[in-house]
Structures are given as structure tokens and as C-alpha cells.
Amino acid sequence: MAKNIMIQGTMSGVGKSILTAGILRALRQDGYRVAPFKSQNMALNSYVTKDGKEIGRAQALQAFAAGMEPSSDMNPILLKPMGDTTSQVIVNGLPVANMKAADYFKKKTSFIPDIKEAYERLSKEAEIIVIEGAGSPVEINLRENDIVNMGLAEILDAPVLLAGNIDPGGVFAQLLGTINLLSEDERKRVKGLIINKFRGDKALLMPGLEMFKAYSDIPFAGVVPFVTLDLDEEDSVSERLKINNKGSIKDLDDGDALEGHCGLYGEDKSLKISVIRLPFISNYTDFSIFDSMPFVELRYVNEPKGLEGTDLIILPGTKNTISDLKWLKKQRLFDRIKELSYDGTPVIGICGGFQMMGENISDPEGLEGGGATEGLELLPVKTRFFEQKNLRQVQGRVGELTGLFKPLSNEEVKGYEIHMGETISDQDIFPVIASENNLGTYIHGIFDSPEFTQKLFEILYDKKGLKKAIPVMESASVIRERELDKLADVLRENLDFELIYEAIGL
């Protein structure tokens, strides 16, 4: 059986996912076979494994940090919100039901065997498993039958590192309040405390660590500084998705330490790309690659004025296509996108955004409320929803395109599909379809293909009449590996790995 250690947090947003990834990378660098594990995740950012299973995107990143192929064993339960109280429940990588929160709460302990079996399979592949908790371990109204924080630590007999976020202030209250709300047995599991996202002079903080000893004898494992990284974030509670309807200068300090990187807005950007900030936006990590491009101004907009002056409109994926299509109409974005497209502005749709660009969407089985809904009519396709979910990794070459995107013909692309429904067209829609200045695809991660995206930027530069050279793109995997190594270096410098190894039992 593998040894383990668990990263819990005082609340959501403390940086558990990225801390887990960094510790995994450091342990791997030290020569250990390591694996990530999160029993239950709630996120609309997901990833499809090679065998067609769906897991949280954060666990895929952690798998890459560990040097492993992502597996559904790393995230046996994934909850994908469909509304304020309902989520699609995915177990072992496949959807099993749509449940109200109260119904899931009653049923969740029935998934404990699935959690244990997934963990045991991972234990046969790894020497150390780094487990990530979710939210806070002291949501006292949810503590009964907990399967993701201290309840899971008990099931797996895991030592715990507790992280707090100093960025909003009150980190000592966060840590002490959490410790005091734990039971005595739970407190014994906490082997070290981490202060994350620190900015400023650490010497001013150090007396506080000494003073904290009067309240708790749990040692500090370290203070991790605020660091900007080009790494995917957990979900749509993200600074990356902050609405920018005016294209104003974005304060560098608005970023999220050890949680990803937001590109700055400014007048020196050559291209302006506008992503529609849908209420149920999913897999917005499709656009992470743009954050590393200094010549791109990436906007997330939710009203028509945010589209002024844009060079490319992107309709992203969504967990609720019909609801978000109705939202487009309510926000007056529906008509504005059509107007801009007719005037020549390029529009690209990914997954649910692709479905919205078609003539209509029908839902005969009532998966999203039933009925039929008019689409943007920018692409000659029609979509019909079926209960079966399409989950697969894809790789292939773009067929012969016409119109603005003709230069993308024959470019190789790869990524993965996660969608309900079947889209019908007279054209061959694998892997993309184009009409005039509109393009649609089901492939998440398509912009991670360097040659494809390089060619896309050449098209946009030419359309705008820009003569300056386009920087050569790095692949997403090269950027990811460099950033994970950078993260590991930061953690080695600021965490007490002797304490961590002792907690693991090594």
C-alpha cells in the first residue's frame, strides 16, 4: 500500500490544487513514483482520459506533474453543476445521474466503495499518493458522512497539511478557527500548516508564526509567496474569468497566486479576443494558452459593449447549452454577435458554443428542459440532444475549409470531446466546420496545437492589416512542464520538506 499525505484548506481558493501539483512534482523529482487523488471534485473544467473517462482538469494537471497518464482513479467522483442546486454526477469517469444537492448528500456514502477501489488501484502504481481535499474540513453542517476532507483522511489514514490563504487577510484566524473546529482526533492528523499567497516582506510575518504557538502546537510547514504561473485553475471561481466589458487596464495584483495567470489588458496588444462569459461556461482552460501571448488582449465579456473593437469572438463550452443560448438573447449578445459576424468579425465556437452557432438545437428527451431552440445560424448545422455522452480524445487533420479560415485546411489538431448530442451537417465536421468567417468544433484544447493556432493568428493579423511578425508559439505541454518545474522550485525554497517527508513516514 502506498504512503500518502493530504492537502486540506481553510476554505475554497487557498491554492490546494496547485500546492498538490507542486508537491507531486517535487516528490517525483526526488525519485518517487507519485500519484494525485481527489475523491470528489466539483468543477466545470474537466478532462477526458485516453480511455474516454471524465475527470477534473485539476487532477489531469496533477497527473502531468506526477509524470503519470491521467486516470479516472485519480478523481472517482466529479460533480458538474447544471444550476444552483443540481449537478451531473460522474462516477469512475462516467455520468450516472443528475441529482439535487440534497439527494446527493443522502446518497454520497454509497460511493465510498468506488472511492476505496480507485485509491487501491492507484496504490499499486505509486509509492506516494498526494490527496487533495475540497473546500473546508469544518463545514460543520456537512461533516456527517464526509468523503472528501477529514472523513476521507480517516478512511485512508492520511496525515494532513492545512493551508490558509493570506491574500484576503485573516490567515491566522482562518487557521486557528479551522483547528479549533476539528475534533481532537482530527487535529492529531494535522502535521503542518501552510500560509499561501504571501506578498511583501516575510520578516514582518515571522513574529506572527512564533506568536501562533501560544494557540496551537501544530508547526508551520512554510510560507509560500504569491507567484504568477501559467497553469490551469480549478474552476470558474477564477480571476481569469473576471468580466472586462471595457478592455481597461487590469491590475497585476488582481491575479491569483499559485492559481494561474491572467494576461494584462493594454493598448499595446495587437489582437483583441473576446470570450463570451456564459453563466455555465465550462473548460475555459481552452483559452489558457492565450495568457502566455504578450500580443493578445483576452477579454471575458457578458454584454454587447464588451465586443467593441474585437478581432475574434469565441463562444466557449457550456454545461447547459440551451439555458446559455437563452441568456445570450436576454443579454442582447445573440443579435450583436450575428451583426458582427455579418460585418466580417470572425466567430469561433467550441463544443456548446459550436452547437449555439448552428441553425437550431432540439432536446426531445428533455435533458435540458426539452423543446427546440433557434441558434445563431452562423453555421449550416443542427444539433439534437441524446442522453449518451460523447467522451473521447481526438487527433486528426482539418479538412478542406472555405472562407476566411481556408488557410487552416490540413492543419493537425488534437484534444478531447465532452458533449451531449449529435450535430448534423452536409459537411464533414471532423474535426472542424467553417462557413465564411465562422468556425466550429467539438474539440476542447484545439488552441493547444501550436501550428493550428499560429496559422489562426496569421489569418487574424492579415485581416487586420498587421505587418509585424507573430511570435513563434510554444506548445501547451512545453509551457506546462516549465511552469510545473518553476512551481516545484518555489515550494522547495519555501516549504519544510523534511517535515513533509516525516509526515508521510519516509
User: pLDDT tens digit string along 322-371?
Assistant: 999 999 999 999 999 999 999 999 999 999 999 999 999 988 887 777 77
Instruction: Give CA–CA dist 499/347, Å, rounded.
Output: 52
* Domains of the chain and any CATH numbers: 3-40+105-230+481-504 (3.40.50.300), 242-269+271-467 (3.40.50.880)
The pLDDT tens digits of the residues spanning 7-44 come to: 999 999 999 999 999 999 999 999 999 999 999 999 88
- Tell me, what's the pLDDT at 254? 28
Q: Catalytic one among 261, 262, 419, 444?
A: 444
- Tell me, what's the pLDDT at 423? 84
The pLDDT tens digits of the residues spanning 278-303 come to: 999 988 889 988 887 888 999 999 99
The pLDDT tens digits of the residues spanning 65-77 come to: 999 999 999 999 9
Which whole number is the average pLDDT over 378-403?
90
- State yes or no: is 419 an active-site residue: no
Nearest to 222 by CA among 190, 196, 191, 188: 196
Assess whether pLDDT exceeds 60 at residue 257: no
Evaluated on CA atoms 487, 232, 456, 461, the torsion sign reads: negative
- Tell me, what's the pLDDT at 147? 96
- Tell me, what's the pLDDT at 470? 80
- Tell me, what's the pLDDT at 45? 87
Q: Which residues contact 350 (CB under 8 A, 6 or more apart)?
A: 283, 286, 314, 315, 316, 317, 440, 441, 442, 443, 444, 446
Q: Taking every pair of C-alpha atoms in the chain, what is the biggest distance, in angstroms?
A: 72
- State yes or no: is 351 an active-site residue: yes
- Tell me, what's the pLDDT at 293? 85
> Picking from 95-104, 308-317, 463-472, which range would have the lowest pLDDT averaged per residue?
463-472
Alpha-carbon Rg for the chain, nearest whole angstrom, is 23
Q: Catalytic one among 261, 262, 351, 419?
A: 351
Nearest to 262 by CA among 247, 271, 252, 272: 252
Centroid of chain to Cα 27: 23
Summary mean pLDDT of the chain: 89
Which whole number is the average pLDDT over 188-212?
96
